[in-house]
Amino acid sequence: MKRIFTILFVGLSLFLSACNEKVNTNRIYVFSQPGCGHCVNAHEYMSRYYKNYDIKEINIREGANMNYMLRYAKKFKINQQLLGTPFIIMGDKYIMGWGKEQIKEFNQNIKNFKPKQVK
């Protein structure tokens, strides 16, 4: 009986660890889409001022990327009807849209991230 319990426990542990997606805690995720002017402005701003940071842009029109964005929206308790791009994930904070207030918030939150190491 102990042996069966041990096998089930190990199997369940392996299954759960495989289900957990590895998230880089020093990476900023930017969900965007083609034709989004605010997304273009956010990209240009980040490329100009924060090019040494680990910023991953994710096109929500490709593959399962929309589902990833929806998972983050659920995590932050955002109604799907109110969800827009760019949708920026910065650790345990998010920014939606791009304008003066969002730029200010981005600049404040990026202080919690480290630039990429130059090799």
> Angle at CA 54, nearest 5°, toward 52 and 58?
130
Indicate the range of 7-16, 69-78, 90-99, 102-111 predicted with least confidence: 7-16
Using 50, 70 and 90 to split pLDDT, how confident is the model at 3? low
**What's the whole-number mean pLDDT along residues 95-108?**
98
Chain segment 12-61, per-residue pLDDT in tens: 444 444 444 445 689 999 999 999 999 999 999 999 999 999 999 999 99
Label residue 21 exposed, middle or buried (CB < 10 Å: 0-12, 13-18, 19+).
exposed
